[in-house]
Structure 1
Amino acid sequence: MIDDSLRLQLKGIGMSEYEAKVYVVLSALRVASARELHEQTKIPRGRIYETLTSLAQKGFVVSSGRSPVRYSPVDGIETFERLKRESVTSLEEVYRRLKAMETETPEPVMQGYKLCTEWTRDNQIRMMLRRAKSEIVLLCNDEEFLARYGCDSARAAKRVCVYLVVGRKELAGFAPIKSYAGGNDIETSLFHHEEGEYTGPSMKMFLMADSRGSLSVMEENGRVTGIFIYPDMYAGYLSRKIVQEIQPVNRVHTGA
């Protein structure tokens, strides 16, 4: 009778189905011929010799070398102590090679992606708010965007520092978290361009997460487009400059 639980455990350490069956039976019998193992395991006779050869090559069994040839399991303690040493050595080698790959892999170059649909913009914004680990700088000049991402911003603010900079102070009333107003550079560069200056697309939202990635949402001639950049080499500098310049806004409640 083959111990099925032991057979499954032996398969778990790399033995084939036939190897596990033969080794369990041979460990119980201690000495057996290929014919006896064939009768006990019901493994085809031609495969018994193949299986015993494989077990011998792996150091699990030895043969008498006489005719008829009889087989015995190698001392169990010695065999599995050897397997443990080999496993540790193998794992250490894999670990060493993986660490070498980490240190040798170059930093990814800056890449930009155009987000043309509302669905792609929406998913990327929510993912950035959800995955940020240290800081979010969010500039917004649109009431609809504040309402749409209010819950996501509030959840993010419970985990990381969130600096919500509004383009107009009255927008702070729609914000679920503490809001800030930008200084003159932010106002004229991002929100309200000076008179006579070519403005191009108007900014509706600009998001930077962990000083690594940025996403801008712009509108021109009624068409909204998003640009996602990661890694953004300028995000760290811009984040620091914006945080240094902003001031808290006293919230003015909207509605009647």
Structure 2
Amino acid sequence: MSTLSFAARDSATMLRRNLKHLRRYPGMMIMSLGMPVLLLLLFVGVFGGVMQVGVGAGAYVDYLVSGILLMTVGYGASMTALAVNRDMTEGIISRFRTMAITRVSVLTGHVLGAVLRTLFSAVLVVAVALLFGFRPAAGFGGWLATLGMVLLLAFALTWLAVAVGLAAKNAEGANLFILFVQVLPFLSSAFVPTDTMSGAVRWFARNEPFTPIIDTLRGLMLGTSVSGSAWIAVAWCTGFALAGYVWARALFRRDPAA
């Protein structure tokens, strides 16, 4: 077998391991599924009437879904940071280092498992949004592009989460990634247009990484132009993915005794 074949086989084995862990730690899946749906219900059912004023024409749920999708990806990635950190602190990764397996497969298994969980969660969010009046205008191409954007974002944030999980000394340190994916969406175009914000907050919201990603997802699903945000969104996702991958590989190769 070639090196690539061994890597694919070992990655598939680690993916099965991570999927089996969902039965041992069901809270991870519940958090990944439950929190985005709860946020969707909260903002549509409780704050929707007030938020509608700032959004203008169209149902508020149509504006909201893209931001909730981003937070869905973020919650899924944050669970991966905790899972990787648990493997590090419990010594499992140290055991894997001594085994005759492709080293990167240990990390790849976490990433693939997280992307699959996130995709399932995203489908659930869209299904619930449809029940609450979400009416997308995207055609087949628009939905295909939306799927690609969600997968790229999940891949990028998950590699970043893996690196954070490896670097953190304990679960509390890994939780810093959760703060990152929880706070930044609230300072973006996820819930209201950035034009309704004031001063420095508006400037930050327009230039932070999540805003172009959210605007791109919204445009793809609602059938509006994404020419001003799509390339920026892809650039941010690519940067996150490369930074997370390089950082995670460097940390994983590091001698734990050094």
Q: Structure 1 length as normaliser, TM-score?
A: 0.23
Richer in helix (by share): 2
The structure number with the bigger radius of gyration is 1
Q: Structure 2 length as normaliser, TM-score?
A: 0.23
